[in-house]
Amino acid sequence: MYKVLVTARSVARCQECIDLLRQNGCEVIDGAGDVPRNEQEMLKLIPGMDAVIAGVDEINAPVIVAGKPTLKVISRNGVGYNTVDVQAARENDVTVTLSVGTNNISVCELVFGLLLAVSRNIVRQSEAVRAGGWQRVQGMELYGKTLGVVGTGHIGAEVIKRAHAFGMKTLAFDLYPRTELTGLYGTQYVSLDKLYREADLITLHVPATKDTVGMINQQVLDSMKNSAILINTARGDLVEEAALAAALKAGKIAGYGADTTQEEPPGKDHPFIQLPNVVITPHCGGYTREAVVRSSVTAGEEVLRVLKGETPLFPVK
């Protein structure tokens, strides 16, 4: 019987995935905590496991080595893999897989929730009403504005589709432009510099890699419109947070909506916490009932494929 460690909290609560694994001869070990597991916790949990279904837990080289000789697959319950040492996995013959195409709609819908929350000051006004006030804060319409979409993969494409329905224009940047987005929605692919300069609102949909970490820095912020709003539902590491906080405080850009920060959860003294033009959600972009089931079951299916000697559908290459 294969042993499958589940540290992803949503997967541990997804009965459809647990049943799938058990029906295929796996023993499921619930290793989920209240927050993602760190290295020391993973070192205690991983020995003897054949597979891990992980969230954003810390799975570095020592953890992977500690999983030898039984560990065969690390299945990420999501599409990011910056917390997994992929090179160490390769060196130890451990396959890393993703749950691709399972939370596109959920994350995309949160993007628009954040766009509306920031552009219309929804959270700020709601908190004022709860405190007994009734003062309005002037907002901004999305209609007719230019949305810059950085990364037009599964989620970015869904964002473009909905932006078109909102009556927005879209500029996009991607290493692999998708001509169908240009034809269907009038999206214009441009350089990153042009996108930063001309977009009224910008949303990030790229993984955290050596080329993208800190991509939103002081120089980029200086090039953006003072009225610009930035949305980040991808990874906190894409943003130089100190520079962004300073720009927000000084009014160099108008607002920030984020579903992620560099340190999760952010500390009470985090520079974003007290800023009225910032809305932060607790990395909940893919946390809907529908997306949880799709992502969890896909993660489980990938584990079973590898354990059976089959080729996974969504390996990290």
Which position among 76, 283, 294, 305 bears the catalytic label? 283
The question of whether 164 is a catalytic residue gets the answer no
Which position among 9, 205, 235, 305 bears the catalytic label? 235
Rounded to an integer, what distance in angstroms lies between the CA atom of residue 250 and that of residue 49? 51
- The residue written with tokens 């990290």 in the block is 316
The question of whether 270 is a catalytic residue gets the answer no
Rounded to an integer, what distance in angstroms lies between the CA atom of residue 178 and that of residue 189? 9
The question of whether 290 is a catalytic residue gets the answer no
Rounded to an integer, what distance in angstroms lies between the CA atom of residue 55 and that of residue 74? 10
Asked if 299 and 11 count as a contact pair (C-beta separation under 8 A), the reply is yes
Which position among 180, 264, 290, 310 bears the catalytic label? 264
Residue 84 pairs in a beta bridge with: 59
Structure tokens at 78: 């999501």
Q: DSSP strand E in the chain: where?
A: 2-6, 26-30, 51-54, 73-76, 95-97, 146-150, 169-173, 188-189, 201-204, 229-232, 255-258, 278-280
Contacts of 40 (CB under 8 A, 6+ apart): none
Rounded to an integer, what distance in angstroms lies between the CA atom of residue 40 and that of residue 302? 26
**Cβ neighbours of 4 (radius 10 Å):** 27
Amino acid at 64: I
Residue 29 pairs in a beta bridge with: 5
**Cβ neighbours of 138 (radius 10 Å):** 6
Which of 266, 222, 206 shows the shortest CA–CA distance to 241?
Answer: 266
**Cβ neighbours of 171 (radius 10 Å):** 23
Structure tokens at 24: 């295929």
Residue 285: its H or E element: none
Active site residue ranges: 235, 264, 283
